[in-house]
Amino acid sequence: MKHFFVLLLFTLSLNYSAISQTTDEEGMKPVIIEAESGAIGSGFDVLQDGDISYVTTNSNFAGSASPEDSSRVITYQVSFQESGTYHLFARLRVGAGGWDDDSFFSGNGFGEKDVSSGSDWVMINGLAGAGYANSTDVVDDLGGLGSNVWKWVNITKNLFTNNPFSVSDDQLTRSFQVANREDGLQFDKFAFGKTNLYYTVEALDKVLAGTDEVEVDSSRFYPGPPLADGSSKFLGNLRGGSESNFSNLWNQLTPENEGKWSSVGNTSDSTRWNWGGLTSLYNYAKSHNIPFKHHCLVWGNQQPTWISALSKEKQLEYITTWIRQNGIRYPDMEMIDVVNEPLVTHNPPDGRNGRANYKEALGGDGVTGWDWVIKSFEMARQYIPNAMLLINDYGIINSNSATTSYLQIINLLIERGLIDGIGVQGHRFEFESASTTTLKNNLDRLAATGLPIYITEFDLGNLNDSGTPNDNQQLQLYKRIFPIIWEHPGVKGVTLWGYIENRMWQSTCYLVRTDGSWRPALTWLAEYIKENPTGIERSVSTLPASVVLNQNYPNPFSSKTTIDFSINEPQNVSLKLYNGMGQLVETLVDGRLETGSYSVDWNAGQNGKDYGNGLYIYQIVAGGKSASRTMLMLK
């Protein structure tokens, strides 16, 4: 093992040191409000957790525009030291219900609000995947902690469209209101801190001054390059918070919750949808030249609560707006999960088991049995024409019957030219007890469609995710399962579903500890990929023994790359290049060639052409048979 992989120093949250302060320290301190100190409506209970007194909702409310009842409201009087614009923070805990326990209403600015006015309130949602708890964490970006932990969240910076909390010198005492929505959400404290300052968890806990500049403790960073650098396949991860050196480790990015409709469309007023978190991640990917895979458009889970009660016609209008806006705002995304978890017993938007109910607006089952999926892809193709369109589901390759059902949908989409890739989730509960033979065989079945396969949500840890995290158990699972995925020629990329301790939905599956060190599974993974950069490159189609097609180099490339092949007898050869949607880009070779080795350069920017980032496929045809490989362009 080289020293390069033993440094492994990585910051989990942003561990910052202050390098300057303003002069008025009192004005720099956060203003802390104990949650139980306000005028509390009967819709809340005040409870105790050790020495923590907290308030919690005692009943669920389905509305999403405003609380509609004063019994659901708490009113606070807040005294400020000085004028300025302030961020709202909350110290809270999401209950065991997770995504069903993580929303509330905040007043849209100071003052007492009209409980029936949607413009007076902002619904805050998605708190099950937000927040910070380590003392040195800076509570600035959204964060990514889960449920059952006390944590601080910067509410206004990440979950408001605009920050409305401004204090003037002539009105330093202001009223502030919150209202409940889902039971299980618990509040310990609220805080207001100057928007030009940064506050750590410790500063908010101990009422310490914020700082106006921060610098990253770079000694704890893994310096790069990404683990799959130079590979024909990407190894990506999800990013949802402040993982500062994300691009040093991973070369593909997927949002965890920011791209889900419930996170963006927390109100039926589409002009007030909150695109901030998703835009931030998209911009990060673009600025770091790594592929961005959007997750996701149509799903029965984590969708706006208000959509289900509308007429089918109105639902379709909103779905169209949602998909069209994604295409407008993120025109250079490489891939997108169009439909997530469509299988009947999984999470279609059919209104069952608490799911969103808008499947009929998309055509329902219809003639094909999957008309609603087809309609979703048709809309995505229309409004997001430049991205690879993927389907995504769990429990697929570990189950022969699920793979069969999945292929029924995929083949319907292939017949209509609507799908560009297959997403297969790879969670712990799918793979930890799976037969490796079953995994291989079902990957083969999917690869036979000719579409690239992407493992989209890979995580492994303890069996059943139970008990104290066991390094050896995780390592052995990675050694048994990961090569099956990585070495399959149909798999063109793997996206891990998190990697930071205390910030994963499967709590034992993290790869990086809170002190920045790597668990043995990540150390092994780094070395394994270094030794197996492209997996085992087997060709699905068999070429004559007289022809060899090599991997292009460099790969990934920014504008120019070289493809080598060789033939040991004269024959007709064609070498063609296709984009990720299967459209012909260029014919590189077409004619009879003599025995020998050949190198063909492709310059993506020549002749005034401007090809976009993404996956490309080059295919050689010789002797009536063909083979292909993929390459990745990153400008």
Beta bridge partners of residue 47, listed in sequence order: 54
3-state helix vs strand vs coil in the chain, percent to 5: 25, 30, 45
Within a 13 Å sphere around the CA of 115, how many CA atoms are in the beta-carbon half? 15
Is 341 a catalytic site residue? yes
Within a 13 Å sphere around the CA of 146, how many CA atoms are in the beta-carbon half? 17
User: 520-532 burial, b for 16+ CB within 10 Å, e for fewer?
Assistant: ebbbbbbeebbee
Taking the C-alpha atoms of residue 187 and residue 150, their distance in angstroms, rounded to an integer, is 9
The candidate with the shortest Cα–Cα distance to 547, out of 578, 582, 593, is 593
DSSP readout, 222-284? -----TTTT-SSEEEEEE-S--TTHHHH-S-EEESSTTSHHHH-SSS-GGG---HHHHHHHHH
DSSP letter for 623, please.
T
Q: Are 180 and 105 in contact (CB under 8 A)?
A: yes
Taking the C-alpha atoms of residue 448 and residue 327, their distance in angstroms, rounded to an integer, is 30
Taking the C-alpha atoms of residue 358 and residue 317, their distance in angstroms, rounded to an integer, is 11
Taking the C-alpha atoms of residue 466 and residue 480, their distance in angstroms, rounded to an integer, is 20
Taking the C-alpha atoms of residue 600 and residue 591, their distance in angstroms, rounded to an integer, is 14
- HEC assignment per residue over 441-454: HHHHHHHCCCCCEE
The candidate with the shortest Cα–Cα distance to 78, out of 121, 126, 128, 33, is 33
- What is the phi/psi pair of residue 23, to 5°? -80, -35
Taking the C-alpha atoms of residue 405 and residue 292, their distance in angstroms, rounded to an integer, is 28
Taking the C-alpha atoms of residue 424 and residue 407, their distance in angstroms, rounded to an integer, is 12
Task: Please tell me whether the peptide bond between 225 and the residue prior to it is cis, using omega within 30 degrees of 0.
Answer: yes
Q: Which of 256, 258, 334, 341 is catalytic?
A: 341
Q: Which of 182, 430, 457, 501 is catalytic?
A: 457
Cβ atoms within 10 Å, residue 548? 15
Radius of gyration of the chain (CA): 26
Taking the C-alpha atoms of residue 286 and residue 467, their distance in angstroms, rounded to an integer, is 39
Taking the C-alpha atoms of residue 5 and residue 526, their distance in angstroms, rounded to an integer, is 7
- What is the phi/psi pair of residue 457, to 5°? -145, 65
DSSP readout, 54-100? EEEESS----SS---SGGGEEEEEEE-SS-EEEEEEEEEEE-TTGGG
Per-residue CA distances from 602 to 155, 438, 553, 557, 598 (Å): 48, 39, 11, 11, 13
Taking the C-alpha atoms of residue 115 and residue 566, their distance in angstroms, rounded to an integer, is 74
Residue 578 contacts by C-beta under 8 Å, 6 or more apart in sequence? 584, 585, 616, 617, 618, 619
CA angle 629, 246, 194 (to 5 degrees): 150
Taking the C-alpha atoms of residue 216 and residue 571, their distance in angstroms, rounded to an integer, is 59
* Active site amino acids: 341, 457
